[in-house]
């Protein structure tokens, strides 16, 4: 019940495309859903996060869509650039992220020039 399932495992898009990464969770007590970006050899960097009372949140080119009834959320990257090539992780947490996060398995994104 603590699992977060992430798909796809890898994704290749052309520059300017809109990659979409999907996550699904089971535990309805989760109340905080962040996305992290990780470059090789670096720690994960917090990109954007959403709470379940909101259906969509945008920050720059990154958008989270949240479907509470389906227990799913997704990350969209608008106008993707080669510099966006990284591994993306979704996560879910309790108590507004103050407790330990449960992470998805990651999506390796490659944006081709």
Partner 1 sequence: GAGVSQSPSNKVTEKGKDVELRCDPISGHTALYWYRQSLGQGLEFLIYFQGNSAPDKSGLPSDRFSAERTGGSVSTLTIQRTQQEDSAVYLCASSMGGGQYFGPGTRLTVT
Nearer to partner 1, 37 or 80 (CB): 37
> Whole-angstrom distance between the N-terminal and C-terminal Cα of the chain?
40
Nearer to partner 1, 47 or 69 (CB): 47
What's the min distance (Å) between Cβ of 92 and partner 1?
12
Q: Is 66 in the site for partner 1 (CB under 8 A)?
A: no
Nearer to partner 1, 74 or 102 (CB): 102
Task: Please check whether residue 106 is in contact with residue 89, taking contact to mean a CB–CB distance below 8 angstroms.
Answer: yes
Residue indicated by tokens 């994704």: 11
**Which one-letter DSSP state was computed for residue 41?**
T
Residue indicated by tokens 């259906």: 55
Q: In terms of Cα–Cα distance, which of 2, 5, 1, 12 is closest to 89?
A: 5
What's the min distance (Å) between Cβ of 42 and partner 1?
6
Q: Is 30 in the site for partner 1 (CB under 8 A)?
A: no
The residues binding partner 1 (CB under 8 A) are 6, 32, 34, 36, 41-46, 49, 89, 91, 96-106
């Amino acid at each position: 019940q603590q699992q977060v399932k992430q798909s796809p495992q890898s994704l290749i898009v052309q520059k300017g495309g809109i990659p979409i990464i999907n996550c699904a969770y089971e535990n309805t007590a989760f109340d905080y859903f962040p996305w992290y970006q990780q470059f090789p050899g670096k720690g994960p960097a917090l990109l954007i996060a959403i709470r379940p009372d909101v259906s969509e949140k945008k920050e720059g080119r990154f958008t989270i869509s949240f479907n509470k009834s389906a227990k799913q959320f997704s990350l969209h990257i608008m106008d993707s650039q080669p510099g966006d090539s990284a591994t993306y992780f979704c996560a879910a947490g309790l108590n507004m992220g103050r407790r330990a996060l449960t992470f998805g398995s990651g999506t390796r994104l490659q944006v081709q020039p």
